Structure 1
């Protein structure tokens, strides 16, 4: 397999690209939106089966009785996989015409034995329209991935590397499917370079991280990766999220599970505005990429709401509903990074200008970043990043930023990675983040760093 160029922004032109190219050849006439679930479901099944088998073999060597104790697996954050659902069983029957039914039965068996996966896994592999020869070839392809986790628990021993390998495959495939789906792909996937800007600027070392429209969970994956890369422990942050699209919620649950990330991700089809599943949560960090300029958010039913501290958002556009919903969920020292369309910085329609003025006068806007166009799969229009802060004078080594807003112009940054899409480079992401950190006057270690998140408090006022 050709060794490719490494790019931390998601275009890992190595084994992930080769795997995707091979998998995509098997797609035939299937729509990417359908094929995505077929492939990602099998990758997920392969991983949890490998993790189970590795733990199973380790327990057999120590104590054969313990090898059949589910609690032993749960203690190491390993899913219990019954015999009929193990990859070896499916691989042995990959060429049989009933392979679709066998995969569906495997998914049902795993959901039955693992409460956190109930309703998450795809279970329509037996449908007549799905080519069973293609399914068998996919199983053969995925079997050769060599994703064999160590038997040690999450975050210990060599397990982290195994999670990262499969996480990279899963993340790369998500991005490629988003590109193939175009506008629809943007509904479940935020480009990795944009997520990295948010994460590198906010630096979520520990505390509660929340995304009210979490898509397939990329914000959480990058936040956990940031913690690990900076010497923290994977459990230092508590993750909370909500998603209104059931299919996308399932992708998020699988995306986090293959990384071994514990999270409280809620789904309901009414969305965060009308059924705020985490109403009492006050988060230390909020990272979000809400859908731009949505007009059908049901705002006419929410004219009076405690969240609209700066004014009732217009029924024709949800941008300022998102900003206020997010600010409402910030803890006393919380900070938020939100992706919105550029128009949110200047629009005066239906009272938006008055809301923006009230937010500035209340000194809740910390920083604005103007991004270049063509960063997103779903739209070519340029976007911006809003950074909100509950307290711009936290003391203990931090600079007093009251009465100030930092503006960063990144509109000329980025490189074209294909005909239609741009990515920010590692150096550009660092330059943006370093500018923000220097302006905030962040304390050195021991001088109050991490002030915002000294204790992951229970849900409540914080």
Structure 2
């Protein structure tokens, strides 16, 4: 019987591999090397097992073996396998050998893996240090992974490698502090967004700032047979690579994840217009400064550049151009313009979007007047990596039948679990949010259904405490009890002073 590899075994090897880099380079950087090596090991072990099986089946007939291998998900040759790299672990050119192997893997699988590794350089002196240190780290990395078998027949459940990948991304995010939030949304928050947009079979699901893709995968997993089309865009090159590998490790081979600035250069187009999606989820960077720089022409002076709605060929900013130092509503408007007629979107934002004035106030008014805003949900503080600020979720919908807006304040004590550095939502907290949203009800100190008139009376200010009163009345003070306490304290004080006097006399002071 084949011995199964457990989740814990994989996770512990990954953790050990992280120790190789710890203290030498930043975890937000070294994660790229560990996760890429995990991906290569997974491709390699699958290839090795297929090769053995076909060699046996076709009695060593090379032509038939190769034909069978070419029909598999991924094609490898022996010079791009993990075993080949491991055999070269002591080679002074090991960094370059790994780079060449990655290039071969891409070339053999252009349809699927084109460009996946282009932003990851195993021979980078700038990141990995001089040859001697770099080679020592890479050798150690290959030795760590060599202990691990990721053959399909040994992986008890097919999600095990994908889970390990997610586990590591989560650990790296908490380790990387502020930078962690750039590539990872905590799993529990992703779960809330996924349940709020309720993807259906055959939906197109989109995340315009997809990071390492974990949020998209959560949403896709809501549809049991997985029949959905996945689209994402990510600005950071190395993170874009991680997102593609993440998709493959979760068995999603047809995700369309593009690399580029979503605001200045949205890549998901149909007939030159923004593509439309039924479900959109996002955790965009909070209040992104200089969000519009991509619209500035070559040679434009940063300081003098002023964004204007006319500069956007997709006309996303006609309701207002967000302030240059706060990109929140730029992402919201991009998503609204990308929503299909029956589309739903849920996005994480800082609370400022609910009440800030000037151009943001104008955009907010337009969204409410067009009856696109469905719900505002306040989350507990310190849920996200690298920032303690509490965030909220805005749920927006096209073709809304209702004309009221639900406010939920899920930030109070008892609605989350406190952690040392980070708080988290428990299953029951997620259920409470989703259930309140589905039942659309007012619950004392937790939620409130506001009419559009109430919101207009509040000058379109959506600050949650205006609608959900979480104020706890303090117990009235009983003055008699207070008086009695004071008398008791005086009595005790007198006794202590008398005792002190005695001791002083005994000591002759």
TM-score bucket of the superposed structures, by smaller chain? 0.7 to 0.9
Find the residue that maps to 2:353 and give its secondary structure. Answer: helix
* Distance change >3 Å, CA 322–CA 73, structure 1 → 2: farther
What residue number does 1:139 align with?
142
Asked if 1:330 corresponds to 2:324, the answer is: no
Would you say the 8 A contact 1:224–1:237 is kept in 2?
yes
Counting only pairs closer than 5 Å after superposition, residues 314-393 of structure 1 correspond to structure 2 as 314-348=323-357, 350-393=358-401
What residue number does 2:258 align with?
266
1:339-377 Cα deviation digits (max 9, x unpaired)? 1001111111x2212221221121101111100110111
Would you say the 8 A contact 1:83–1:89 is kept in 2?
yes
Q: Distance in 2 between matches of 1:297 and 1:141?
A: 41
Deviation at 1:74, TM superposition (A): 6.4
Asked if 1:255 corresponds to 2:246, the answer is: yes
Asked if 1:411 corresponds to 2:419, the answer is: no
What residue number does 1:105 align with?
100
1:62-87 Cα deviation digits (max 9, x unpaired)? 44434313xx55655x2111111112
Q: Distance in 1 between matches of 2:123 and 2:360?
A: 50
Q: Distance in 2 between matches of 1:159 and 1:57?
A: 17
Structure 2 stretches lacking a partner, 5+ long: 1-5, 294-305, 442-509
Counting only pairs closer than 5 Å after superposition, residues 3-14 of structure 1 correspond to structure 2 as 14=8
What residue number does 1:126 align with?
123
1:190-232 Cα deviation digits (max 9, x unpaired)? 11111111012222232100111111111222123322xxxx2
Taking structure 2 as the reference length, the TM-score comes to: 0.73
90-99 or 36-45, which deviates more:
90-99
Deviation at 1:127, TM superposition (A): 4.2
Q: Give the length in aligned residue pairs.
A: 401
Counting only pairs closer than 5 Å after superposition, residues 148-297 of structure 1 correspond to structure 2 as 148-150=151-153, 161-162=157-158, 164-206=159-201, 207-227=203-223, 232-234=224-226, 236-261=227-252, 262-268=254-260, 271-279=261-269, 280-297=274-291
Asked if 1:49 corresponds to 2:56, the answer is: no
Aligned match for 1:85, one of 55, 58, 80: 80
Find the residue that maps to 2:222 and give its secondary structure. Answer: helix
Find the residue that maps to 1:210 and give its secondary structure. Answer: strand
Asked if 1:311 corresponds to 2:320, the answer is: yes
Would you say the 8 A contact 1:214–1:243 is kept in 2?
yes
Q: Distance in 2 between matches of 1:24 and 1:242?
A: 27
Find the residue that maps to 1:373 and give its secondary structure. Answer: coil
Supply the RMSD in Å over aligned alpha carbons. 2.5
What residue number does 2:464 align with?
none
Deviation at 1:25, TM superposition (A): 2.1
* Distance change >3 Å, CA 363–CA 97, structure 1 → 2: same
Q: Which has the higher contact order (CA 8 A, sep 6+)?
A: 1
Structure 1 stretches lacking a partner, 5+ long: 1-5, 7-11, 151-157, 394-401, 441-462
Q: Distance in 1 between matches of 2:18 and 2:80?
A: 25
Deviation at 1:15, TM superposition (A): 4.4
What residue number does 1:457 align with?
none
